[in-house]
Structure 1
């Protein structure tokens, strides 16, 4: 078993330690680091970025050839770790001999501990793992940004160990929204300040989604709500992807229930849990987003676009488009040329 030790809360130092222990090619941009690995131990990529408001972000997209443990100890103040497993599975523990908490695909996990303890991640050999980790510094600092300081204060209050407890550990239910945000991160091709701002914005949304997931899980536990199995999550994910690929189909709950084999109530539960939307709202949102992309990338007129996304009323389409984008589809289309010229 390979053991990798990280003994810093500085992103640059963490990546230097990772390269020293695992090899690879390390490249840097301002506040951003990328370690590409392809050797006998591991193949894949680790990316990281730090922000000025005591938040840093790392993403592991790796497959190890042997069981591997990454032990992270912050000597001054252990951060709160907001983790999300988008692919594969890992296990987390406090210390290499501590209780292992599995984190399966599409699950969130929030972990914090006393600085004397280690945050430990277990990677199984030959398992492709895609894991995001948002780290919030627990040292109380005034950043000068009132919103950031308020966020940090709330996170410390909610997710740091209470009283005599040494740890805080939470493993959440399944969530696909965060996986979508990770995909958005990968698609960013801008450079410089624009790139940094886009990454920062998406990471903050991911953090908000993890916090919201924790809140919803607590509420569901209190109300004894049911939870979906991984198989049900996979099936509903496939159904959602089918809707996204074919927005023109005239969907209704009866049709989707028959196609998926799940009751309407189960579908509603799944879409609410995964996307925080009802089935109908999800379909409507997919159609509007598809239409917006068609306006930008095709020469179709508005009526043709309305038909191509499965709607029949242009006035209804204009209503829901304006609700989402705060302008009419015609205005948006008419201003595409001027937007391109000034961009």
Structure 2
């Protein structure tokens, strides 16, 4: 595992310190630093941009060849409050460098802040594309804004913004939220330049911050929010996947799956979109097709038998969706496998 250490006592920027280990190319434009690399360490880009009133954006779009541990240590001033959101992939986090790492998941709302004796330690897994946005908020500077009334915040987060040690280190691993994901996507895809880009990014950051703070408040108040899922609801989705595989010979309609999972249809659809980027029906169809493809390859069953086994009544419908997905008819796929065996 490669270890990268970043500290605020170094006179170099975060990007410059990262590049001492990564050895890529740094591009600077309109107050934004971007590290781009494609070498033995991996591929990707890391961007950092600072704004007024104690806010900065650090985002990653990386794929490392080996596990990479990045350690951020704040020495000169109070550690920032870190608002994290992972759009793709996952990583693990710790603040003491022991073995008790926690997994940070895709689409999960995450807020972290450390005391002076701890660090922010992120481990990026190898061979996985990770898109991570971190909004750093330095509360002392942030609270100098004329409109930064934080009195309505939930007590623990309020204490963190005030720099009090009572709730530090602070860690909120909240609900999974697609609305925040959409705003992050807008932030990352903006292609303007100059003042237009700066104002647009700053506006999006403030909006994302407000949404992440609101999610924290709803989480603490156990409020039900349509566009988010709790950790327990995500676990129900994962259990439902096992149910789908075990009952693949059934039609598996949304109504039945909703009842089996204990989640309403809307929550169910949201969960599958969050976890698999598919609707429930699209996911079920993809699983049925993968099982059918495996049966064609590894069994002596006829196409008709396989169609029945995966819960379809119409062989012609199965052939159509199989072709749409694999660009080959099931009978042609079976013949191609047979021909390759004869040749070998």
Which region of structure 1 is more displaced relative to structure 2, 64-73 or 4-13?
4-13
Question: Residue by residue, what CA displacement relative to the aligned partner does 1:37-72 show, whole Å, maximum 9, x if unpaired?
Answer: 111112111112111011111111111111111000
Question: CA 1:259/1:54 → structure 2, altered by over 3 Å: closer, same or farther?
Answer: same
Match of 1:14 in 2: 14
Question: CA 1:135/1:98 → structure 2, altered by over 3 Å: closer, same or farther?
Answer: farther
Matched, 1:262 2:268: no
Match of 2:149 in 1: 150
Normalization by structure 2: what TM-score?
A: 0.64
Question: Residue by residue, what CA displacement relative to the aligned partner does 1:184-205 show, whole Å, maximum 9, x if unpaired?
Answer: 1232121110110000111111
SS in 1 for 2:170: strand
Match of 1:200 in 2: 202
SS in 2 for 1:99: coil
Question: Residue by residue, what CA displacement relative to the aligned partner does 1:270-318 show, whole Å, maximum 9, x if unpaired?
Answer: 678999xxxxxxxxxxxxxxxxxxxxxxxxxxxxxxxxxxxxxxxxxxx
SS in 1 for 2:69: strand
Unaligned 5+ residue runs, structure 2?
A: 225-229, 241-252, 274-344
SS in 2 for 1:48: strand
Compute the displacement of 1:116 (Å). 2.5
Equivalent-residue separation in structure 2 for 1:11 and 1:201 (angstroms): 29
Match of 1:45 in 2: 45
Matched, 1:229 2:234: yes
Compute the displacement of 1:10 (Å). 9.5
Unaligned 5+ residue runs, structure 1?
A: 236-256, 276-343
Judge conservation of contact 1:90–1:103 (CA < 8 Å) in 2. Answer: yes
Equivalent-residue separation in structure 1 for 2:11 and 2:152 (angstroms): 22
Compute the displacement of 1:159 (Å). 3.6
Judge conservation of contact 1:33–1:47 (CA < 8 Å) in 2. Answer: yes
Question: CA 1:175/1:10 → structure 2, altered by over 3 Å: closer, same or farther?
Answer: farther
Kindly tell me the number of residue pairs found equivalent between the two proteins.
Answer: 252
Compute the displacement of 1:9 (Å). 8.5
Compute the displacement of 1:209 (Å). 1.4
Match of 2:216 in 1: 214
Normalization by structure 1: what TM-score?
A: 0.64
Q: Which of 1 and 2 has greater Rg?
A: 2
Aligned-pair Cα RMSD in Å: 3.6
Equivalent-residue separation in structure 1 for 2:53 and 2:215 (angstroms): 22
